[in-house]
């Protein structure tokens, strides 16, 4: 389905990158949008462009997803914006750059809060309402780093692995309730995720890694994401040549482990 007229779509992490571009795709399909990100000023710019691209209406709910104690209220506000949510796309996330030995535990906890606990808390708040309304769709951004251990990503890889377990369980438990789950697994995409990644001491990484700079554009990624959600696909890889590692992990796990040791993580 490419026509989302009268459908309500909530997307987190929409101030830039894949979240912003995916919001544009849904806007072009006539959806009613709820946008969440940390930066209110950037979010307002995205809102204005979504309206120009055809969104029926757009509600901004800026929020710091690391504030996990107040996430249930965010979910309540999102639901009350239109009285329903048809697609909830958990896209927001933060990455990390540091070895397991050197990375401070506070960094690991922050990454887990944003990348794992925030989607879990928000989904648990929205899911019963979706079931009561007769169904809906959940989508989530994981990573190929969630398929195998990735150097300098102990927290990020852990969170992305955990998302697989959580959302696959949600899908298995709620199929009969007409809940569909789409897991999106990007490889290298040209976004700010490496720029905003946390160093071992919590400082901002501040640059785009070379490998990521050579990835597909956020716009191209959003086209893949939009089609996967529209088709209610169970899982969708997003990227280019680097995605071969996902297939190597599945069929040749030993080889994958050897290759992972040789990956240039930045």
User: What is the separation of C-alpha 229 from the centre of its chain, rounded to a whole number of angstroms?
Assistant: 13
Please say if 89 is a catalytic residue.
no
CA angle 106, 108, 113 (to 5 degrees): 95
Select which of 4, 117, 156, 164 is catalytic: 156
Q: Which residues contact 8 (CB under 8 A, 6 or more apart)?
A: 31, 32, 33, 34, 81, 82, 84, 85, 86, 87
Query: What's the number of CA atoms in the CB half-sphere (13 Å) around residue 22?
Result: 34
d(CA 65, CA 196): 15
* H-type alpha helices, the chain: 17-28, 40-52, 71-82, 105-112, 118-133, 154-174, 210-213, 218-230, 244-251, 253-260
b/e for 173-187, b at 16 or more Cβ within 10 A?
Answer: ebeeeebbbbbbbbb
Cα(23)–Cα(48) distance, rounded to whole angstroms? Answer: 11
Which residues, including other chains, have CB under 8 Å from residue 73's CB and lie 6 or more apart?
A: none
Q: Which residues are catalytic?
A: 156
């Amino acid at each position: 389905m490419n026509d989302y007229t009268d459908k309500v779509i909530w997307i987190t992490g929409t101030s830039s990158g894949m979240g912003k571009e995916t919001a544009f795709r849904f806007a072009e399909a006539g959806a009613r949008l709820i946008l969440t990100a940390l930066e209110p000023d950037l979010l307002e710019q995205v809102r204005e462009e979504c309206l120009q691209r055809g969104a029926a209406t757009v509600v901004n709910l800026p929020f710091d997803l690391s504030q996990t104690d107040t996430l249930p209220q965010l979910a309540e506000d999102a639901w009350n914006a239109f009285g329903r949510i048809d697609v909830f796309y958990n896209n927001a996330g933060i990455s990390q750059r540091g070895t397991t030995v050197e990375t401070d535990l506070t960094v690991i906890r922050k990454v887990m809060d944003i990348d794992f606990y925030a989607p879990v808390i928000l989904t648990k708040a929205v899911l019963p309402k979706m079931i009561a309304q007769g169904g809906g769709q959940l989508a989530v951004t994981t990573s190929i780093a969630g398929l195998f251990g990735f150097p300098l990503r102990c927290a990020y890889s852990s969170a992305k692995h955990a998302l697989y377990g959580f959302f696959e369980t949600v899908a298995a438990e709620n199929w009969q309730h007409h809940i569909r789950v789409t897991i999106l697994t990007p490889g290298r995409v040209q976004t700010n995720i490496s720029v905003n990644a946390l160093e071992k001491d919590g400082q901002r990484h501040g640059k785009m890694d070379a490998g990521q700079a050579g990835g597909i554009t956020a716009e191209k990624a959003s086209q893949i994401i939009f089609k996967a959600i529209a088709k209610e696909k169970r899982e969708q890889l997003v990227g280019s040549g680097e995605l071969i590692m996902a297939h190597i992990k599945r069929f040749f796990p030993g080889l994958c482990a050897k290759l992972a040791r040789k990956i240039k993580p930045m």
